[in-house]
Structure formats: structure tokens, C-alpha cells
């Protein structure tokens, strides 16, 4: 990981530090649900500069290429000024229609904002807007004492303004009222950027007395979350905030608290191998601190160095597709870049890039039942989904992690596509690509992943992984899998289990185990049909209880029930109501 320059203003904190909230909210923070709705685990897309027609074209570009999208973020500029919460009618005409049209396509709209209210504004980015005079709400904020530090002006990347006082009940009431029309319209959340890092006067003078920058940060993110949940409910609203982040001239710190982070985004990394390692470092620190739903800007955001901004960072297709793979194997997957990049507008290997992006976005989409379930388990006290291998001192140049106690992911960190992979002790590991079996503790020296569409990835023996599959894009099913629960099972000699949080709100308990003569996968309930791909390796399967053998894949796909041996795997299709799949060897 690259070392950043020292901070102009040193900020230190721990996410475990308690913060007493006594004003500015009407909900006890301790009672806020730790929850991320299922739809937030779908792939996200975002552009740095966009408008209404371009947003439609952006979404359509993915849909036309059969790439799933669940959320589109409208980054700045979208408002009439910073920050009015009023969509710019010239940039986003018929804004309510846009939100409704996206929702009709099962795509949520999330809007960028900060806690700054500007006396003067600008967009430094090419294609931005021009702003005449102060933001219309600036005068009221200043007159009524709604800003911290006696409305002292601070310079940030969108102009000069004052920072809202989240410890002032009247200021909070006024601020929330400006958000309400958009929440009523049906926006699904806020992307809350780190404008508070530009407050230079500390401790911060607030309505409730002096506060540290960290206290102010946590109140900022908490208030947006509290109000959005009150207006929209936990199934329809998230905030997208920074967990641990170290970028630009600011020293690394935790921003929103883990319990106030439905979506955690480590952002503004440069678009190269340095940026990928920075993103992984920040995600690893966040995971160790208890953040559940985390990810990065796939492919990196910045086309310049985030510290020395005179250094240009050229686009690398190789780095981009490797980062896409890592992003897909995080709980949160989002494409967002300063260059408004799409898979089909790269400057080389376009077809390869689109196909690679499609595969990984499809896999991430199919993994939503798994990702949602392991996150729900983490919110209930289980380990967080992303588990770094090793300690901080050993991360750099490696960055292996285990996802949901099922996948080992070993990111590619340079142009060679080759790296050593040390498999964690305690179990055997099955190569995702070749199905080769390796003992834990083994070092796979110079593992060859020169195929840019892949990264080294392994599944732990004993893993049981629920999927939602509706096509053959990842070779994990076909169109006949649609409407059924797909289960990937890698049975071990000791029974393992997985609790699936289903769309109907109920739990389905999955188990898998094998012995010398049989392999068994069970479901606690089966209200819909099941398709199981069961790792049987070289073991010969002679029968599956109650089901007929199918001699071809086509026959298997056409059958309501049956089984089919395909290399290291045995596929089993069972109708609704069948809760035990028993294979005889």
C-alpha cells in the first residue's frame, strides 16, 4: 500500500468510541435497526457527471448488454446549488418521472449530497454547472444560527460554505424538511460525501457545546440515516457512507459508525494497482472494525493521484477487469469513476471487458441470497462477511480474504496475472475454475491467472451457498433455474449448515454432509423447486433417492426432477416439497 502525505489536521478515532446523542434526533440511535435491504446487494452504477437523458442511456447500456443493475447513483451535480435538495430542472427534467421509471425497472435511485450549505459554489469537473450567488437556503441557515462555528465559511471541493449544526434541533428540523419531498418521491437513499473533513476550526462550536470532528461526523451520518428510515422504512432506504477511509491530504479515520453504515464505500482511489491496494487496505480495516456491507469504486475513481494531483493516472483495462472481479466478490459492488467509464467505452479489448463485467456482475447478482444472508447473520452477531487473512502488517502485496466463510479470494495486484496463493489451514479448498482440490496450508506458487477475466478464487470444503439463477451466464444453471432456489454444496465429512434469509421473510436451513457411501443435502423447507450443484469430485454416483438419472444436460434442464453427473459435480433438480437430496455412491 502506498503511503499518503501527512494530514494538515490530524484526526484520530476508534469506531468503538461511544457517542452520546442528546439532541437533534427523535430516535434513540441504540434502537436503529442494523440492516441492509436485499436490493442493495445488487450491482450499483454511477457516473461523476450526468443528466436525465444520459442516466436513461447509462442504464439502458447495461440492460442491452444483459448486465444486471440494481441501483443508479446520481452524483453531483444534480441539485440547483450546494446543497438545496432541489433537482436542477435543466440537468434532470421530469425528475419524478426518472425516479418512477427506474423503480419500474426494479432500479433504485440514490442521490449524492453533503452537509455543507454554500455561500458560493462551483464544479471544477468538466461538464459541471455554473452557480450564480449563494445557495437559496444559505441566508436562512446563517440568520438562524443553523451552522456550526458561527457560520464560519469553509472551503471545500464544491465552493465555500458553512456546515449544518446537527446538534441544533431547529436546524435539524429545517434540514430534514428540505429532504422530505425527495424521500416522498421515492428516492432510495443518500450517498453522503465527506464534506465535514474540510471543517478547519476544531473543536467545533455547536448548539450543544464544543464537539470533536469525529462527534460531528457521526452525528451527520446518523441524522440522515435516522430521518430516511423514518420516512421510507428500512426496506426502502439506505445511506452510503465511508467506513475507514484515507484519501487526499486527510489522515485515515473511520467516518460513520459501523451500526450506522447500511452501505460502506471506500472511495476516491486512483485507478491503478496502487488504488486497488489502497481500497483493499481500507476495506480490510473496516471489516476488522465491524463494518458489514462494504466495497469500493470498481476500477478506481481518480484519473489523478489523490495526494499529488499533478500526477496523471492512465486507464488500464487489465487493472479495471481485475478490480471488477474483486468488486463482485465484495458485499457492495459499484462502478463509479471520474472518467464516466462504462465497460463498452474502454479504449481497448472492449468485447473482453463487456464479457468479463457481465460475468462478474451476473455472479454478484446471483449471490444476493448468500450476501444478504451472511450480512443478516453478521448483524445478529456472527462474523462480518469479509474476513481478511493475516494481520495488518502482512496485508500489503497479498490481500487475501475469506467471504462468508465460503470463498477465498486472492486479488491480482499487478499486470503479470501471476501470484502465490497460500490456502488457509483448517479445511480443504476447491479451485473455483478447475475444481482441483488442495489441502489447507498449501502454498500454490506462481498461480497462473493470466486470463484477465479471472482471479484466483477457491471454495472451502463444507460450504453451502444459496443462489438465485435465471440463465446460463455463469455456468451455474440455466433459464430453467428461474424461480427455484439454487444451492451450491461442497459437502465435508462433518455436517455444515447455512441459513438462507428468503425473499418471503422466512428462513430456510440448508445442510450438507458426506460419508463413504452417500452425500446428503437437506432443506428445512422447499416451497419452490430446488436446483443443487453438489461437489462429488471423483466419487461415482449410482442413484439419487426418488429421482431419475438424466443422460444429457438438455434432458436434465427439461425435467421437473432428476439428476445428472457433470465432471466433478452432480446436478440435482427437485420439485417443491422435496427437502432431502440423498446421493448414493
Residue 411 lies inside a defined structural domain of this protein: no
Residue that terminates a domain, selected from 354, 379, 404: 379
Instruction: List CB contacts of 356: < 8 A, sequence separation 6 or more.
Output: 321, 324, 325, 343, 452, 453
Average pLDDT score over residue span 259-274: 96
pLDDT at 26: 54
pLDDT of residue 12 exceeding 50: no
pLDDT tens across 374-394, in order? Answer: 999 999 999 999 999 999 999
CA atoms within 13 A on the CB side of 251: 10
Residue 430 lies inside a defined structural domain of this protein: no
Residue entry with cell 452557480: 131
Domain that holds residue 375: 29-379
Average pLDDT score over residue span 54-72: 98
566, containing H or E segment = strand 562-566
Residue that terminates a domain, selected from 379, 412, 433: 379
pLDDT at 579: 98
pLDDT tens across 492-503, in order? Answer: 999 999 999 999
Q: Are residues 194 and 335 in the same domain?
A: yes
Please report, for the domain that includes residue 243, its CATH number. Answer: 3.20.20.80
DSSP symbol at 413: -
pLDDT band at 307 (very low <50, low <70, confident <90, very high): confident
pLDDT of residue 13 exceeding 60: no
Residue that terminates a domain, selected from 332, 359, 379: 379
pLDDT at 14: 39
Query: Between the CA atoms of 38, 83, 123 and 265, what dihedral angle is there, to the nearest 10 degrees?
Result: -30
Q: Are residues 364 and 476 in the same domain?
A: no
**Strand-by-strand arrangement of the 580-584 sheet:** 496-501, 507-514, 518-523, 580-584, 543-544
Q: How far apart are CA 382 and CA 498, in angstroms?
A: 12
pLDDT at 308: 86
The answer to whether the CB of 545 falls within 8 A of the CB of 582 is yes
Q: How many domains does the chain have?
A: 2
User: What nine digits make up the cell of 117?
Assistant: 450549505
CA atoms within 13 A on the CB side of 523: 29
Q: How far apart are CA 272 and CA 407, in angstroms?
A: 25
Q: Closest Cα to residue 161, out of 215, 83, 214?
A: 83
Q: How far apart are CA 276 and CA 470, in angstroms?
A: 31
pLDDT at 25: 45
Average pLDDT score over residue span 30-40: 91
The answer to whether the CB of 381 falls within 8 A of the CB of 418 is no
- CA distance readout (Å), 88 to 63, 95, 280, 342, 420: 26, 9, 36, 24, 51
pLDDT tens across 181-221, in order? Answer: 999 999 999 999 999 999 999 999 999 999 999 999 999 99
Burial class (CB in 10 A: 0-12, 13-18, 19+), 64: exposed
Residue 164 lies inside a defined structural domain of this protein: yes
pLDDT band at 27 (very low <50, low <70, confident <90, very high): low
Q: Are residues 358 and 491 in the same domain?
A: no
Average pLDDT score over residue span 463-467: 98
Amino acid at each position: 500500500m502506498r503511503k499518503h502525505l501527512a494530514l494538515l489536521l490530524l484526526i484520530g478515532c476508534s469506531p468503538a468510541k461511544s457517542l452520546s446523542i442528546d439532541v437533534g434526533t427523535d430516535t434513540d440511535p441504540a434502537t436503529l435497526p442494523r440492516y441492509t435491504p436485499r436490493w442493495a446487494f445488487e450491482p450499483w452504477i454511477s457516473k461523476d457527471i450526468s443528466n436525465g437523458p444520459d442516466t436513461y442511456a447509462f442504464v439502458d447500456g447495461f440492460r442491452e448488454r444483459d448486465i444486471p443493475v440494481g441501483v443508479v447513483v446520481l452524483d453531483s451535480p444534480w441539485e440547483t446549488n450546494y446543497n438545496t435538495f432541489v433537482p436542477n430542472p435543466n440537468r434532470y427534467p421530469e425528475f419524478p418521472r426518472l425516479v418512477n421509471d427506474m423503480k419500474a425497472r426494479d432500479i433504485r435511485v440514490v442521490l449524492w449530497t453533503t452537509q455543507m450549505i454554500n455561500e458560493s459554489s462551483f464544479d471544477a469537473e468538466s461538464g459541471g454547472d455554473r452557480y450564480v450567488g449563494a445557495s437559496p437556503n444559505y441566508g436562512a441557515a446563517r440568520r438562524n444560527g443553523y451552522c456550526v462555528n458561527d457560520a464560519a465559511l469553509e472551503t471545500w471541493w464544491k465552493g465555500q460554505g458553512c456546515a449544518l449544526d446537527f446538534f441544533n434541533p431547529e436546524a435539524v428540523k429545517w434540514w430534514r424538511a428540505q429532504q422530505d419531498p425527495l424521500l416522498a418521491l421515492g428516492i432510495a437513499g443518500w450517498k453522503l460525501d465527506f464534506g465535514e473533513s474540510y471543517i478547519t476550526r476544531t473543536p467545533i462550536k455547536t448548539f450543544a457545546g464544543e464537539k470533536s470532528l469525529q462527534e460531528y461526523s457521526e452525528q451527520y451520518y446518523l441524522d440522515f440515516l435516522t430521518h430516511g428510515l423514518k420516512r421510507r422504512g428500512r426496506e426502502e432506504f439506505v445511506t452510503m457512507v465511508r467506513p475507514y477511509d484515507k484519501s487526499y491530504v486527510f489522515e485515515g479515520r473511520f467516518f460513520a459508525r459501523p451500526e450506522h453504515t447500511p452501505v460502506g464505500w471506500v472511495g476516491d482511489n486512483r485507478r491503478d494497482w496502487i488504488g486497488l491496494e489502497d481500497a483493499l487496505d481500507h476495506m480490510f480495516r473496516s471489516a476488522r472494525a465491524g463494518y458489514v456491507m462494504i466495497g469500493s469504486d470498481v476500477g478506481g475513481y481518480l484519473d489523478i493521484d489523490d495526494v499529488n494531483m499533478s500526477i496523471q493516472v492512465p486507464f488500464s483495462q487489465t487493472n479495471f477487469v481485475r478490480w471488477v472481479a474483486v468488486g463482485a466478490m465484495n458485499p457492495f459492488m459499484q462502478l463509479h469513476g471520474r472518467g464516466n467509464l462504462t465497460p463498452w467505452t474502454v479504449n481497448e479489448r472492449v468485447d473482453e471487458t463487456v464479457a468479463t463485467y457481465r460475468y462478474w456482475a451476473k455472479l454478484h447478482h446471483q449471490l444476493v441470497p448468500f450476501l444478504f444472508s451472511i450480512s443478516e447473520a453478521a448483524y445478529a452477531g456472527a462474523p462480518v462477511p469479509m474476513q481478511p487473512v493475516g494481520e495488518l502488517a502482512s496485508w500489503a502485496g497479498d490481500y487475501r480474504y475469506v467471504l462468508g466463510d465460503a470463498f477465498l479470494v486472492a486479488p491480482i495486484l499487478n499486470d503479470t496475472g501471476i501470484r502465490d496463493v497460500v490456502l488457509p489451514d483448517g479445511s480443504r479448498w476447491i479451485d473455483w475454475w478447475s475444481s482441483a482440490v488442495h489441502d489447507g496450508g498449501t502454498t500454490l506458487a506462481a498461480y497462473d491467472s493470466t486470463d484477465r477475466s479471472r482471479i484466483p478464487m477457491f471454495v472451502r470444503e463444507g460450504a453451502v451457498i444459496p443462489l438465485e439463477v435465471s440463465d446460463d451466464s455463469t455456468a451455474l444453471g440455466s433459464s430453467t433455474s428461474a424461480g427455484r432456489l439454487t444451492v451450491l454444496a461442497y459437502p465435508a465429512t462433518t455436517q455444515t449448515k447455512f441459513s438462507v434469509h428468503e425473499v418471503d421473510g422466512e428462513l430456510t436451513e440448508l445442510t450438507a454432509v458426506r460419508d463413504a457411501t452417500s452425500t446428503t443435502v437437506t432443506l428445512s423447507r422447499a416451497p419452490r423447486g430446488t436446483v443443487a450443484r453438489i461437489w462429488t469430485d471423483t466419487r461415482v454416483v449410482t442413484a439419487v433417492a426418488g429421482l431419475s438419472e438424466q443422460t444429457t444436460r438438455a434432458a436434465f434442464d427439461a425435467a421437473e426432477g432428476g439428476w445428472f453427473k457433470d465432471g466433478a459435480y452432480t446436478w440435482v433438480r427437485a420439485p417443491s416439497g422435496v427437502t432431502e437430496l440423498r446421493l448414493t455412491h
